[in-house]
């Protein structure tokens, strides 16, 4: 991406907006992190990362948390990043739009939830932890998780999985544990 390949003609055929990630699989293309996670978790159901559609209550819970990641958590974190940058530059920011839940509310809700359960769906890790957890790992990197011990422990737990190291190493960013 840092070499601009994501804006090349070839890549724009995969992702018309020139964004990453995008996945070519089963002779088709999926993009948007949430789209990719939803697809993979259902496509490789044996991995147990998504409750089956017939498993009513867990599946409903899973759908909620999956949508929460992209629809509520990600915009709340972006808003913090935007406010931080504006402050650094001494620029005034406009208030939050009505559709945006403030990061503090979102993080307090997740903190309370995780103080009672190891994972978002309770005792079982799912792709919802991957979606929301990777966003919270980013929030942690920019100092947004102080005073949120349960979220921090959950992020640390997710990062300690061998599959996390494997995925990070495969990025070629020179990631080290
Ligand atoms: N909502 C999208 C966001 C995609 C996105 O903005 N990706 C960033 C990297 S994290 C990107 O491609 N930036 C390069 C650019 O916009 O040129 C997703 O979850 O896939």
pLDDT per residue rounded down to tens, the chain (177 residues): 567 889 999 999 999 999 999 999 999 999 999 999 999 999 999 999 999 999 999 999 999 999 999 999 999 999 999 988 888 999 887 776 777 999 999 999 999 999 999 999 999 999 999 999 999 999 999 999 999 999 999 999 999 999 999 999 998 888 887
> Nearest C-alpha to atom 6 of ligand 1 is from which residue?
19
The atom of ligand 1 lying closest to the CA of 1 is: 14
Q: Please indicate, yes or no, whether residues 12 and 41 belong to a single structural domain of this protein.
A: yes
Strands (E), the chain: 22-25, 28-31
Signed CA dihedral, 106, 133, 157, 38: sign only: positive
Q: How far apart, in Å, are the Cα atoms of 96 and each of 84, 88, 90?
A: 14, 18, 18
Q: Please indicate, yes or no, whether residues 19 and 99 belong to a single structural domain of this protein.
A: no
Distance of CA 154 to the CA centre of its chain: 13
Domain at 149, CATH number = 1.20.1050.10
The atom of ligand 1 lying closest to the CA of 31 is: 20
Q: How many domains does the chain have?
A: 2
111 lines ligand 1 (CB under 6 A): no
Q: Which pTM value belongs to this model?
A: 0.93
Query: How much distance in Å is there from the Cα of 68 to the middle of ligand 1?
Result: 18
Residue 170 structure tokens? 């495969």
Structural domain boundaries enclosing 145 = 53-165
Q: Please indicate, yes or no, whether residues 24 and 75 belong to a single structural domain of this protein.
A: no
> Nearest C-alpha to atom 10 of ligand 1 is from which residue?
20
Q: Please indicate, yes or no, whether residues 78 and 130 belong to a single structural domain of this protein.
A: yes
Q: Please indicate, yes or no, whether residues 92 and 122 belong to a single structural domain of this protein.
A: yes
Q: Please indicate, yes or no, whether residues 81 and 25 belong to a single structural domain of this protein.
A: no
The atom of ligand 1 lying closest to the CA of 19 is: 12
Q: Is residue 177 part of a domain?
A: no
């Amino acid at each position: 991406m840092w070499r601009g390949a994501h804006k090349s003609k070839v890549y724009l055929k995969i992702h018309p907006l020139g964004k990453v990630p995008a996945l070519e699989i089963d002779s088709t293309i999926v993009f948007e992190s949430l789209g990719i996670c939803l697809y993979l978790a259902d496509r490789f159901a044996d991995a147990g990362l998504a409750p089956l559609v017939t498993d009513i209550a867990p599946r409903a819970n899973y759908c909620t948390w999956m949508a929460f990641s992209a629809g509520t958590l990600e915009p709340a974190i972006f808003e913090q990043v935007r406010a931080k940058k504006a402050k650094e530059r001494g620029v005034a920011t406009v208030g939050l739009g009505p559709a945006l839940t403030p990061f503090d509310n979102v993080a307090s809700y997740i903190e309370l939830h995780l103080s009672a359960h190891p994972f978002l769906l309770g005792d079982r890790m799912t792709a919802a932890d991957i979606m929301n957890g990777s966003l919270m790992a980013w929030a942690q990197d920019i100092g947004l998780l102080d005073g949120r011990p349960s979220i921090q422990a959950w992020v640390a737990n997710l990062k300690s999985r061998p599959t996390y190291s494997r995925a990070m190493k495969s990025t070629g960013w020179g990631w080290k544990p």
